[in-house]
Amino acid sequence: MGTNLSSTPATTTETIMAANTTTDKDIADDEIVPLADETASQAQRVVAAYALDADECRMLFSMLGIEPAAKPE
């Protein structure tokens, strides 16, 4: 949200959100629950539908932690 990749200037909301980023509410590793396969699959479809291209799609998958599992050889 805080990073504006387009040529238009950041909105006030984007600027405020970037300024309010904090680590006070970090989640401990032992509190993180893995996503169900179906949930990850649905999230992948939504991200892929809105991504501008394959590179952006891969980047967003990685950022969200929903990369497709590697296919066994």
Mean local confidence (pLDDT), 18-39: 77
Mean local confidence (pLDDT), 12-33: 68
The answer to the question of residue 10 being in a domain is no
The answer to the question of residue 2 being in a domain is no
Write down the mean pLDDT value for the chain.
80
The answer to the question of residue 23 being in a domain is no
Is the Cβ–Cβ distance between 60 and 47 less than 8 Å? yes
Residue by residue, what is the 3-state secondary structure of the chain? Answer: CCCCCCCCCCCHHHHHHHHCCCCCCCCCHHHCCCCCHHHHHHHHHHHHHHCCCHHHHHHHHHHHCCCCCCCCC
Mean local confidence (pLDDT), 6-27: 62
Domain count, the chain: 1
The answer to the question of residue 1 being in a domain is no
How does residue 2 score in pLDDT terms, banded at 50, 70 and 90? low
41 has a pLDDT exceeding 90: yes
Range of the domain at 73: 28-73
The answer to the question of residue 61 being in a domain is yes
